[in-house]
Amino acid sequence: MMEHQPDPARGTTMEPHVLTREELIENLQGIKARIEQAARSVGRNSSEITIVGAAKTVPIETLNTAIALGITHLGENYVQEATRKKLALVQLGANPTWHMIGHLQTNKAKDAVSIFNVIETVDSVRLGEAIAHRAVRKSIPVMLEVNIGQEVTKSGFAPQNLAEAYRTLRDLPELSIVGLMTIAPEVTNSEEVRPVFRQLRQLKDELGLRELSMGMTNDFEIAIQEGATLVRIGRALFGARPQSQR
């Protein structure tokens, strides 16, 4: 199944490159080696870390090959795009675990609970309650997104408000709060994000949660050293994204 992308000549998006099996194997081997080294450096076992392939704009063919190579968790930023890709992959016999890793509007909660296996970006009590209200099954795994740096351009709970929000949402039977998630600030030196990841781990420990989704292509090794259990990898795995319309 080939994806149809807008014509670059019309000034929209570029055709995304469909990676070969060999290209994906090379990328994946490099990522796994980096994960192994980062985990070993702090006495962790690399088996504790799950790669979530960040699938935004990635062609179906590339995703299908990645799944065959063992990438069984995919993250998407948009409900509509996830819906389309999930259907296409099911038709190809692939059924990965889908993570919502982009901002989710409350009016999309109903669609999100039917598409995603895990919603990582619960950034308000209102959204958590909307997900619970529209749940078609009990104990939907969710993560609370924390805006550690309290950046105005990012969503998420302020650290000082997290505990109260957690206490409110944990009593909803439709939700299973499994961990915390954050998006680190963009910095020139990746070491600068270490305090962000460390604080998220401390918050996770205080709440007694299990999972930490933090770290992307530029900083996932530091995230692993600070306790990440899920790393959201896009560019290092799938290559650079084409220019997007969004």
d(CA 59, CA 203): 36
For residue 65, the model assigns a pLDDT of: 98
Q: What is the pLDDT of residue 15?
A: 64
Q: Is residue 132 classed as helix, strand or coil in its secondary structure? A: helix
How far, in Å, CA of 65 to CA of 24, rounded? 8
| Both tokens assigned to 177 | 């709060």
**Alpha carbons 109 and 107: distance in angstroms, whole number:** 6
pLDDT score, position 164: 97
Going through the chain in order, the beta strands assigned E by DSSP cover 50-54, 73-76, 97-100, 118-122, 140-145, 175-181, 211-213, 230-233
**Cβ proximity of 151 and 191 under 8 Å:** no
Q: Are 221 and 213 in contact (CB under 8 A)?
A: no
Nearest CA among 50, 54, 39, 6 for reference residue 63: 54
Q: Which residue has the tokens 């090379």?
A: 26
CA distance 221 to 31: 10
DSSP code of residue 115? H
Whole-number Å distance between alpha carbons of 64 and 91? 11
Angstrom distance (rounded) from CA 53 to CA 32: 13
CATH: 3.30.70.2190, 3.30.160.270, 3.20.20.10, 3.20.20.70. Which one for 43-238? 3.20.20.10
Residue partners of 118: CB distance under 8 A and separation at least 6: 97, 98, 99, 100, 141, 142, 143, 178
The per-residue pLDDT for 84 is: 97
Helix axes 60-68, 21-41, angle to 10 degrees: 60
DSSP assignment, residue 156? S
Given this model, what pLDDT does residue 10 score?
42
Q: How distant is the alpha carbon of residue 69 from its chain centre?
A: 19
Residue with tokens 């996932």: 220
Q: What is the mean pLDDT, run by run of 10 residues, along the chain of 246 residues?
A: 40 70 98 98 98 97 98 98 98 98 96 96 97 85 94 91 97 96 90 95 98 96 98 96 56
Give the count of beta carbons closer than 10 Å to the beta carbon of residue 205: 11
Instruction: Report how far residue 119's alpha carbon sits from residue 108's, in angstroms, rounded to the nearest whole number.
Output: 12
Q: What is the pLDDT of residues 165-223, one digit of tens each?
A: 999 999 999 999 999 999 998 888 889 999 999 999 999 999 999 999 999 999 999 99
Residue 9's pLDDT is what?
40
Give the global pTM.
0.91
